[in-house]
Amino acid sequence: MSPVLPTIPWKDIISHNKKEDCWLVIHGQVWNLTEFVNQHPGGATIILKYAGKDATKTFSAIHPKDITDTVPQSYLKGVIDPKEVPPVQEEEKTASEAPTELSDVTVDEVLNTYDFELVAQTKCTVQAWAYLNSGGDDEITLRDNTAAFQRIWLRPRVLRDVSIVDTSTLLLGVATRMPLYVSATALGKLYHPRGEMELSEGCAMTNTIYMLPTLGSCTLDEMTSVRQKDQTQWFQLYVNGDRSVTKKVIEKVEKLGVQAIFVTVDSPQFGNRERDQRLKANVVATIQKETGKTTDQNQGISKSLSTFIDPGLNWKDVPWLMSIAKTPIFLKGIQTGEDAILAARSGVRGIVLSNHGGRNADTCRSGIEILEEVMDTLHRENIDLSNFDIYVDGGIRRGSDIFKAIALGAKAVGIGKPAVYALCAFGKEGVERLILRLQEEFMRTMQLCGCSKISDIKREMIITKDLSNHGYPHQTGLYRNYIPATTIKSKL
């Protein structure tokens, strides 16, 4: 039987607000983290910011509830009185300087992914926005992920019966609304109080597969607890340096009912995300001088999350992963034809062509550009694709982008940031609206190109001669500021 914890009044808590005497409130519990301040992987600054205050909102955005189990329970001092009114705390600034009229926008007024991005920026903290939108180094790859789709041209066929259009397809034997899934993104509670649970529910509303992240704000139990009847969830896996931990994670997610595991293979080291780092560096410089320590405290959210990922992961580990998993294994982050061949011959169920959202090595090619090379290589090597699926992610913003990927040979595409924008803007209703709008755009593109079903989408319906021409538009960056004329823009 757990001991009864004492109730601590707020007037006592707020007095413990120094580095040498640091108490925080998290989920109604009072923690003395004085001894933990300099051990915190994310740096001391974020803890000291909430010394003597309620850190629940910020804590929940980054950590699942059960992470406190890893902290010595002797740090737990008591609980707050739920009937006592807590002191008013300063609100975090949002990332947007947009007019307040955007707060009046309804989900029905949003017409595309760019609109969701505008609204989300008004509801997101500066730090969370920087983490979500940061790319590697000069962010050339980040920008080009979207621009690459604009270098592919359509070759519509006419005089075909498209009075009825079916966008549905099968992914690993599961019927889905269209060849699209929501890919894993970290720290969902930075953008919505219910984080990944809300995102999963939004996917369920549209019969869309959701990929659970390793670095979610919610626990695996929470994310799977909201799975609806007949809903499919996949799982994205970072391999831990301690292989026994990875084995336990795989066993747990399979027990919880996930139907495929996507092993991230493009991140032996996270990229140099300076936009994320810069905000953090401005906050922690003073603390670094005080402690005299050189740590990763100024490296932003990304660095603080990546310390457990094994840089030694290699092709010899793939058979081991397949031996302990009962569900299909995919390799997420393939970027060349050569590695696609190795993956196909290793026996995995498929691959995801991805450059990690442009967040790792800068000047890598976009997923859609990688796709053309991979398909050519696989066909040249006579690889049987009947049981080897190719997915692609990165830069999908329009239904026409989905069409182009399918025409080039992808089985499906994944979206990450657009889903988070929708989540941040309107919760699960936003996620539902986003997916339905993408389906409308995809269906319209199919009709205009003469396709009534997925199998009608052919390679000859697109032109890719400009796909490898990177002279435009990333050098000007003009498309980064392009927002289509919509109802939402009229509010600016």
Quick one: angle between helices 399-407 and 367-380, nearest 10?
20
> Sign of dihedral through CA atoms 487, 488, 489, 490?
positive
Amino acid at site 304: S
356 is catalytic: yes
Query: Across 278-375, where does the E strand assignment appear?
Result: 329-334, 350-353
Amino acid at site 81: D
Largest CA distance in the chain: 77
Active-site residue among 63, 356, 470, 474? 356
Bridge partners for 350 per DSSP: 330, 389
Amino acid at site 61: A
How far apart CA 22 and CA 52 sit, in angstroms, is 7
How far apart CA 291 and CA 124 sit, in angstroms, is 31
Active-site residue among 50, 114, 210, 238? 238
Nearest to 142 by CA among 449, 412, 355, 446: 355
What's the N-to-C CA distance of the chain in angstroms? 58
How far apart CA 133 and CA 210 sit, in angstroms, is 21
266 is catalytic: yes
Tokens in use for 106?
């309804």
Bridge partners for 180 per DSSP: 413
Active-site residue among 54, 144, 266, 393? 266
Bridge partners for 236 per DSSP: 262
Tokens in use for 380?
């040249």
Residues annotated as catalytic (active site), given as ranges? 238, 266, 356
